[in-house]
Amino acid sequence: MAKLRLSITLLRLSLVIVGMVIPTIALCDAPSGEFHLLAGLVSGKFSGLGDNANGTFSVPNSIDVEYELITSRHLSFFARATLAYQISTGILPYAYTGIGARVYVWSNSRGYDQIQNGFEIRKRPNFRLYVGPDLGFSQAVIKQYTAVIQTTSAFLEVGANAGLIYQMSSTIGLEAQVSYSFGFGISTIAVGASIFRGLAGLSFYY
């Protein structure tokens, strides 16, 4: 029940942020895009009824790719895909695709130019800190029996992410991100999941 209440709260927060972001699209005269290429640890724990519905995984070399549409100085939307692939075994324990929103706190989402008293002022943040909710679908291997026999399940995931970007230049940033989500089984096997990501990589303006 605690997980369900937290997920409902995150979902409500997502709707509130979406409601705030949509009006800003019309006010922002030049939305910009940003790519994020991240890698790192993705781990998960599954729990349900029966031995077939309980398991864990941990992949330290997972890949996460994101596209972010920055719509104002403090708000953005993003879409992401995560692949946790075990090179040693050739097994894909976890795959995810989803969307979300971000709020940039104590900083702007990007640099911007401003004209005051006939002078052009350019502001470029050195650090950008963000938090926000995300929602998506995933598929995971709950338990691996042999190289070809396994128990899998699909999930609806609700979670939150936070990250910090150090802007190395006007277009490239060094990024660290953590996220945590709860998964609700939507396939024939009733399983709950908790997923953690600890990632680092680069971000690219265009």
pLDDT in tens, 49-105: 766 668 889 999 999 999 999 988 889 999 999 999 988 888 899 999 999 999 999
Q: What is the pLDDT of residue 182?
A: 95
pLDDT at 6 over 70: no
State residue 23's pLDDT score: 46
Q: Residue 18: its pLDDT value, please?
A: 46
| Strand ranges for the chain from DSSP E | 32-48, 55-70, 75-86, 91-105, 112-116, 119-123, 127-144, 150-167, 172-185, 191-205
Query: Mind listing the domains of the chain with CATH numbers?
Result: 2-205 (2.40.160.20)
The predicted model scores a pTM of 0.78
Tokens linked to 106: 């104590």
Higher pLDDT, 170 or 102: 102
* Residue 137 pLDDT > 60: yes
pLDDT at 5: 56
